[in-house]
Amino acid sequence: MTLAFAKFDPPLAQTLVPAGVSLRRAPGEEIFAQGEAVETVYQLLSGAVRTYRLLGDGRRHVCDFHVPGDVLGLEAGGEYGCCAEGMTDVILLAIPLATLRRLSAHDPLLGQRLLSIASRGLQRSQNHAAMLARLGAVERVAAFLIDFAQRFDADDEFDLPMTRQDIADYLGLTIHTVSRTLSQLQEQGLIDARASRRVRLRRQDELLGLCA
């Protein structure tokens, strides 16, 4: 079975597409950099993107993985709070921030949708921080797999677009711990992860129970 990408908000897409230009980025190619002034907002049309922060000691913290339909760059404070780069070949709609502000001023519903998107992003960040503080390694990996399947509108078998190092940097674990935990979940019959990036969720209810 294959991955089916998340569906767009049609009214939002109809408004944004005429206002932007289409961009393509290769895997690993930068979309925007942490600390740059926000001049462009992006909607992901296809592919998968990771956002991450570079910490003071040189380590990388992956903030999130983004799916088609996600809007990137709605930052408070005027600067991008993280770096963004493609994990796969990606197509993005790039909308100048000034254009987006002008459209929002003339379309209150658009402004409300964008505010809702920003609020959901903040809530997701808060939930992720709480998950890191509350859950152990097994629970974090289980929660990640369930979340991935739901956000990417995947069925019970899918290919992960990110590396295990990406997963480790997202979950606050080492790559060794991620690999060991995936093996543990496989031994318990909850998943099948024999291929390098292909995963099958065999008993989703039990996985959900781990991260409840």
pTM assigned to the model: 0.86
DSSP 201-212: ES-HHHHHHHT-
Residue 5 included in any domain = no
Domain co-membership, 29 together with 79: yes
Low-confidence ranges of the chain (pLDDT < 70): 1-15, 76
Helix (H) / strand (E) containing 142:
helix 137-151
Residue 16 included in any domain = yes
Residue 2 included in any domain = no
CATH number of the domain bearing residue 180: 1.10.10.10
Range of the domain at 43: 10-121
Task: Give the tokens for residue 112.
Answer: 């409300």
Which pLDDT score is estimated for 174?
96
Domain co-membership, 48 together with 92: yes
Residue finishing a domain among 88, 121, 154: 121
Domain co-membership, 113 together with 161: no
- How many whole angstroms separate alpha carbon 11 and alpha carbon 156? 30
For the segment 135-172, what is each residue's pLDDT rounded down to a tens digit?
A: 999 999 999 999 998 887 777 888 899 999 999 999 99
Closest alpha carbon to 21 in 1, 43, 54, 6: 43
Domain count, the chain: 2
Task: Give the tokens for residue 91.
Answer: 């197509």
